[in-house]
Each structure stands twice: as structure tokens, then as C-alpha cells.
Chains A and B, each alone.
Chain A
């Protein structure tokens, strides 16, 4: 649908639409490839930092393996409190006292004088472990339930369908809060055991199961009527064999791209819970809790305290989403996701 007026108008800059088309296409594709590699690079960086956070130069090397003590090791030093990042020359806050370690400049420090970069990387560890484990278990359970419901149908299908409808009827965040509160034991006085990781993971797994089940069920139904499945069945293959050898390999691509989208959603969900103080115990850094802690200094000039972890989190979520999108386009399964 070219606008003929534009081309015949002498004053207007002539845009040779037809000739530019191929050039543009190449451009778009190259841009996409660059962003894809940027996303992969960022995720690799954040994963390596998360794994090796203990040996980052900014964190004491002699830190024990227990991450809680490790976070405590980044002890408060009020002399270094609220130092803006070095590149923020426009910040109005007092410049650091003499003898400040250079590395604090990368992202500045928080209210307690703890290095924000180090804490962001430690936070990546918490978030990625929680979200990664949750999506893995969610996928395993959701795939199983969805395939069973979609292949056998009947009463199993009805039960699974109704259960997931009940779960979906609640606002997701409320449900998560409910589940985390449910699994946390307030009577336990020992701080280390009162907020273990697993309640959050279990809560997120339960949250992620219904949509995954739905997706897998829809895909299974579609494949169950295909000729190769019918052929396998008429050759006498058992239900379990058809499910795992015939149908599963076909839905794996869809699952992979959906897993990445789910991972991004779960990172956000964990951040939300942490923001409300429902994730791991306080000294262990998580992105959500760091952003929440920075909302108060935000008012009196300490903007980087919230924004630095927010920035790291944004880049991570964006990268995961981008890769999910790339995969989805590659396997051409966009309809199945929506």
C-alpha cells in the first residue's frame, strides 16, 4: 500500500520504497543478531558473577561458603555510606571521604556503606537460583500434567483443568504472598531456618504450573491427532511410550521458548516478593529488597541506591525476554504462547 501522492509530490523527498526494501531487511536482521549476542553476553556475565560472587575482588576472599555469613562480611561502614557512583558527576551528594577504595565507584554504596555492585551480583545469585529452580520444577510438573491431561482427556483432564482454574482465579501476587506466608514458620526463632529458600521456590513453582500445564495440554492435543501418533498407537505402543517418545520431542521447542519467558516472569515475581520483604532474610541481598531499601534515600538524593539494582535487574529480565523471543521466532510458535 504505497502512497502514490508522496511520490508524485515534487517538494517531498522522494522515497524509493521499492529499492530500499532489501537494504532495510538486512539492517533489521543484523540489528536483531547484535542484540541477541548482547543479551547472551549479559546473561553470561551475570551468571558467572553470580557463581563467582564470593571471589569478586570487592568481596572478602576469605568469606565462608555460607552466603549468609558472606553477606554479613560486607559489613556496614557508615563512613562510606551513600557514596554516589564516580561517573555520576551531577550527583549533589558529598563526595567520599579520603581513602575510599576505588571499586566503590562503579555503582556507589548504600545507606550502610555496602558496595552496591557486589550486592547486585550477590543478588543475582539469589534471584537466578530461585527463579531457575522454580521454572525447572514448574516445567517438569507442568509438562507431565499437561501431557497426561491432553493425551488421556476424560476425568483426569477435568480435574487438572479445574484445579488450575482455581489457581488462576486469584491475583498472582496475592497467591504468592499467601503461599510464602504459608510455608514460612513464624514460630521458629532461629533466623537462618525461619526463611529458607524453598518456600519461595515452592510458591513460584505452584504459580507457574497452571499456565505451563495449559500450554502443554493444548500442544499435546494438537499432536495427539497427528498421523505419526496414530501410527504408533496402532502398532501397539503404550501410552507412556507415545507421550515421551512421540509427543514430548515435538513440544520441547515450544517449551524452551516459553521457559525463558517464564524465567523472566519468575525473576520479576521473586523481585516483587522480595520488595515486600517476603523473600530471603534481610542481610542476604536480593534485587527486590535492595530496590525497596533504596526507596527512602531516593527522596533525599540517594537515587543510585534503588536504580542500580533496578538497572541490573532490568537488563537481566530484558535479556531473558529477548532470548525467549528469538527462540519463539525461530521455532515459529508464537501463537502457541499467546
Chain B
């Protein structure tokens, strides 16, 4: 219980610091109110018009006051409208969040599903032909950023074979599962390829060192089968670095796949944030950042729990202290 309370206090502290820093940093972006006025009234606004716009949006108040009124809006759920298009910010976020979540979940799942068996087998048969093929290909994949993978995949699956429509439109999984998976297939693959390469390398090297432990030899001597040995005895102690890097990636994937979203014309959180920065939509950026930060903290909390599951020593340590 005290652990949970302490975590909660930490969360609030981090959220306040992050949003406050964001709000200050946003105000320091060049152009600032000029950009907002220009987008709102069109070019050649008079001084009076500009002042009216700034007053209407409450941008003339001191920064601290703006921040606290934003904080109040955030807590009461009354998020207001975007500066430029008068659309509800809550609706924009609600549109972006599921897209990002799907991308993140599918990408992670695919990458892990491919990486774990490959890495385990590579580590078990180190320097075999399979291992060499796996490590070489992973090395090559690591050098392929999203914007190189995406055109290749589009060419292979959409242009040449017409297997998947491009650009694909987002459909909810509940409305039309087939269209949904078709739309997410290529972006997921694009995200999963570099992730797979990273995971595979991390898990392989950890697994190799685990397999040199005495308890593996003991288990082998007791007659434990290969599958049992690899997946029940050796995998769990080798998961530490993999879990850490997968967790770090969750945060990055939720907000940082702008390029993939751009390439496949999906409206996720990344695009929302970046375009809001360009348009100086201060509140929208802050809401997006809060949500990303909350997700990040939430995930970290679960990762802490996962460490305890992976390694009983962590559990014991925590119970003592």
C-alpha cells in the first residue's frame, strides 16, 4: 500500500514537471502568437484583430495563470477546442489514441513473437548456420529506419501485388476486422522489423550467458528435454534486458512513430503532437504530452512488477526494504 502511494506521488510530480516544462518550452518557440493569429485570421491581420484573437484565447495572461487554468481544464475533463479549427481537443485525442495503441500493441507483439523463438534457438545453436543467418539479418534490419522499410513494403504488398490497399484508411476492429487488419498490416510490419532486430540481439546475448550457467547443466543432466530446458529454465532469467528495452520502446512507440503515421496516412498521437507543435496549439500539445507521460509511467510501474516476476531476488529485496 505504501509502495502504491509513493508511486502515485511520484507520478503526480513527474506529470506536473513535464507539463510545466512543455508549456514553458512551447511559449518559447519562435513565431509564437504570430503563427496562431496568422492561422486563425489568415494573412494580413490588423493589430486590433491580432490582439482580439490573443485575448479570446487567453494568451495575454501570465504564463503561470495560463498553466493553472489549463491544469484545471485537464482535471475537470473540459478540454476545450483547438485554436485554429475549433474542434474539440478531447475528440482529436480520442481519435489519435486508439490508432497509436493498435500500432504499438501489434508492432510489439509481432516483434516479440518473432524475436523470442529466433533468439532462443540462435543462442542454443550458437554459430550454427541458423544463428549466423539470424544475426546477420538482424544486423541488416537494425540499419533500416522506418522510412526505408515503409516504401519497400508498400512496393511489395500494395503496388506490385495489390494485396493491401495503399493508402489504407483506419477502420475500427469492431466495425470490420478484415479491413482493420489490412490497414494495420504494413505499418505494423514497418514498426516490427527494427524492433525485432533489437530484441533478437539483446535476448540472444543474454541467453548465451544464461546457458553457460551450472543450473542449465544440472537440468540437462537430470534429463530435461530441450524445449523444456530452453523455455522453462533458461528463458526467464534471460528476460531482464529484453523487458527493459521493450518497456522503453512502448513510450517511444506511442508518441514517436510520426514517420510511419505520415507514410501510411494514419492519424495517431505522433502526428497530432507534431502538427500541433507546428500550429502552436499549446493546449493540445500539453494534453498529448500528459497522456504520453501517464502511459510511460503506467508502463514503468508494470515493468517493475515484471522484474519481480522474472527474478525472485527482486521480490525478496522489495519485501525486506
Residues of chain A within 8 A (CB-CB) of B35 are 186
Tell me if B18 is interfacial: C-beta within 8 Å of chain A: yes
Task: Check if A314 is an interface residue, CB within 8 A of chain B.
Answer: yes
Return A16 CB to nearest CB of chain B, in Å.
Answer: 15
A-B interface, 9 closest residue pairs, ranked by CB to CB distance from nearest:
A171-B256, A306-B151, A318-B143, A317-B143, A310-B148, A268-B145, A171-B255, A186-B31, A173-B256
Bound-state Cα–Cα, A271 to B34, Å:
29
Task: Evaluate contact between A24 and B30: CB separation under 8 angstroms.
Answer: no
Q: Is B251 an interface residue (CB 8 A)?
A: yes
Alpha-carbon gap, A307 to B151, bound state (A)? 7
**Contact of A72 with B by CB under 8 A:** no
**A294 close to B (CB within 8 Å):** yes
Contact residues, B270-298 vs A (CB, 8 A): 270, 273-274, 277-278, 292-293, 296
A307–B152 Cα gap in the complex (Å)?
Answer: 7
Choice from A172, A275, A299 contacting B147 with Cβ under 8 Å: A275
21 contacts between A and B (CB under 8 A): A24-B127, A28-B127, A28-B132, A169-B296, A171-B252, A172-B252, A173-B259, A174-B258, A182-B28, A271-B145, A271-B147, A272-B145, A275-B259, A275-B262, A291-B147, A295-B151, A298-B151, A299-B166, A301-B159, A321-B139, A338-B202
Residue B57 CB within 8 A of the other chain = no
Asked whether any CB of chain B lies closer than 8 Å to the CB of A177, the reply is: yes
**Out of A172, A174, A294, A314, which one reaches B144, CB within 8 Å?**
A314
Tell me the dominant secondary structure on chain B's binding face: helix
- Is A122 part of the binding interface, using a Cβ–Cβ cutoff of 8 Å? no
Docked CA distance A8–B207 (Å): 29
Q: Would you give the shortest CB distance from B256 to chain A, in whole angstroms?
A: 4
Is there an interface contact between B274 and A177, defined as CB atoms closer than 8 Å? yes
Partner of A186, one of B30, B139, B241: B30
Q: How far is the CA of A277 from the CA of B251 in the complex (A)?
A: 24
A291–B256 touching, CB < 8 Å: no
Are B256 and A172 interface neighbours, CB within 8 A? yes
Residue of A nearest to B253 (CB): A171
B residues 140-183 with Cβ under 8 Å of A?
Answer: 140, 142-148, 150-152, 154-155, 158-159, 166
List B287-321 residues whose CB lies under 8 Å from chain A. Answer: 292-293, 296
Q: How close is A24's CB to chain B, nearest CB, in angstroms? A: 7
With the chains together, A291 CA to B21 CA distance in Å? 34
**What 14 new A-B contacts, CB under 8 Å, besides A174-B270, A276-B258?**
A172-B256, A173-B256, A173-B259, A174-B256, A181-B30, A184-B30, A187-B31, A268-B145, A291-B148, A294-B151, A299-B166, A307-B151, A310-B148, A317-B144
Q: Which residues of B contact A182 (CB under 8 A)?
A: 25, 28-30
Name the A residues within 8 Å of B144 (CB-CB): 314, 317
Contacts of B296 in A (CB 8 A): 169
B151 — which chain A residues lie within 8 A by C-beta?
Answer: 291, 294-295, 298, 303, 306-307, 310
At the interface, yes or no: B220 with Cβ under 8 Å from chain A? yes
Asked if A149 CB lies within 8 Å of chain B CBs, one says no
Bound CA–CA A181/B147 (angstroms): 21
For window 164-186 of chain A, which residues contact chain B by CB distance below 8 Å? Answer: 166, 169, 171-174, 177-178, 181-182, 184-186
Q: Report the minimal beta-carbon distance from A225 to chain B, rounded to whole angstroms.
A: 25
A174:B21 contact, CB within 8 angstroms = no
Residues in B neighbouring A178, C-beta threshold 8 A? 25, 29, 277
- Distance from A207 Cβ to chain B, minimum over Cβ atoms (Å): 12
Scan B246-262; emit 1 where CB is below 8 A from any A CB, else 0: 00000110111011001
- The answer, yes or no, to whether A115 is at the interface (CB within 8 Å) is no
In the bound complex, do residue B155 and residue A303 qualify as a contact, i.e. CB atoms below 8 Å apart? Answer: yes
Judged by a CB distance under 8 angstroms, whether B263 is at the interface is: yes
Instruction: Report B-chain residues with C-beta under 8 Å of the C-beta of A314.
Output: 143-144, 148
Quote the shortest CB–CB distance from B70 to chain A (angstroms).
18
Contact indicator B147/A318 (Cβ below 8 Å): no
C-alpha gap A302/B159 in the complex (Å): 10
| Residues of chain B with a CB closer than 8 A to A303's CB | 151, 155, 159
A264 at the interface (CB under 8 A from B): yes
Question: Which of B21, B34, B254, B256 is most buried by chain A, counting CB atoms within 10 A of its CB?
Answer: B256
One of B18, B150, B159, B262 near A299 (C-beta < 8 A): B159
A195 to B151, CA, bound (A): 27
Contact of A1 with B by CB under 8 A: yes
User: Is A292's CB within 8 Å of the partner chain B?
Assistant: yes
Instruction: Give the Cβ gap from B285 to chain A, nearest Cβ, in Å.
Output: 9
For A172, list chain B residues within 8 Å (CB).
252, 256
Interface pair A288/B155, CB less than 8 Å apart: no
Given known pairs A178-B25, A276-B274, the reply for A173 and B258 (CB within 8 Å) is yes
